[in-house]
Structure 1
Amino acid sequence: MNLENQYLILSFGDEKLKASLENNATVREFIQYLPVTFTMNDLFNREKFVEVNDLEVERTISSYGKGDISYWTPGRALVIYYKDDDEPIHGLVKLGEILDGTERLENYPGNIEITIDIE
């Protein structure tokens, strides 16, 4: 599957954010389930997360940045980081990165409904 020139679109409230895609097995499996709508929980005023099905994993990393969309393998969770700190989080697979407007997620405290699709 060719992921070049494809993007994730995250829709919530009146917002739409565009995200790049990584080229890995986890992404290739995840996009087969799109479009999907989740109620995502807020954690530490830093990230939105939701538990998802097990996804195929090739390798994991222990770092993230603001705007990263990741799969956290220990908790089988899709995570969107809208703030970053120096805390290492083991077992992450980067799915993509929000290109612009990540800070808009800060305007939606608590749990929010997000629809994810591919463009």
Structure 2
Amino acid sequence: MKLYASIIIFILPLMVSASCTSEETVLTPNTDSPSVTENSESMKDTVLITIGSNQFTATLESNAAATEFKKMLPLTINMKDLNSNEKFFDLASNLTTNAANPRTINSGDLMLWGSNTLVLFYKSFNTSYSYTRLGKIENPSGLSQALGSGNVTVTFELQ
């Protein structure tokens, strides 16, 4: 009995190591490639918004309207002022909508009103209107001053 036990103790580790194949090597994590569990925020698209000599960075939403908007870039447009809190521009084509009432608009919100009106908000306020969210300026400090009180030329481009 001791002989069989000795043989099993000696042969078992050899059998286990011999049964390893190169396929198991593929399962070893590769530290050179991005992790599948990477934060989805790092995968979002960013847009550079230029107003005169001022630049702002916006992060686009992960929705159909934002994807369609991204395909239009780069885009330089003359945005009109409305209600002393937003600039708007009517796009040439309609985008997919998923409108909802955000209740509160924040400075730096980039939204779609209806299916083709691009809106950049530069003041925060409560609203009863519904919009499709396209993105948000990460740091809207100075946005109101950059946009001014009248019409303004704004350039949107992917970063």
TM-score by length of structure 2 reads 0.67
Query: How far apart in 2 are the matches of 1:51 and 1:60?
Result: 17
Kindly indicate whether the alpha-carbon contact (under 8 Å) linking 1:17 and 1:102 is maintained by their aligned counterparts in 2.
no
2:126 aligns to what SS in structure 1? coil
Which structure has the bigger radius of gyration?
2
After the TM superposition, which residues 58-97 of structure 1 pair with which residues of structure 2 at under 5 Å, given as runs? 59-63=98-102, 64-73=105-114, 76-90=116-130, 92-97=131-136
* Aligned counterparts of 1:28 and 1:47: Cα–Cα separation in 2: 22
Could you list the runs of 5+ residues in structure 1 that have no partner in the other structure?
none
Runs of 4+ in 1 over 6 A off after TM superposition: none
Counterpart in 2 of 1:40? 79
More strand by share: 1
Higher RCO structure (Cα 8 Å, ≥6 apart): 1
Cα distance per residue 1:28-61 (max 9 Å; x no partner): 111111001000001111001000120112x211
For structure 2, which runs of at least 5 residues remain unmatched after alignment?
1-41
1-structure distance, mates of 2:145, 2:129:
21
Compute the RMSD of aligned alpha carbons.
Answer: 1.6
Q: Out of 55, 66, 85, which is 1:27 matched to?
A: 66
Change in Cα spacing, 1:102 to 1:79, as seen in structure 2 (3 Å) is farther
Give the secondary-structure state (helix, strand or coil) at the position aligned to 2:56. strand
Equivalent position SS for 1:96: strand
Answer 1 or 2: which has greater helix percent: 2
Output the CA distance in 2 between the equivalents of 1:4 and 1:105: 28
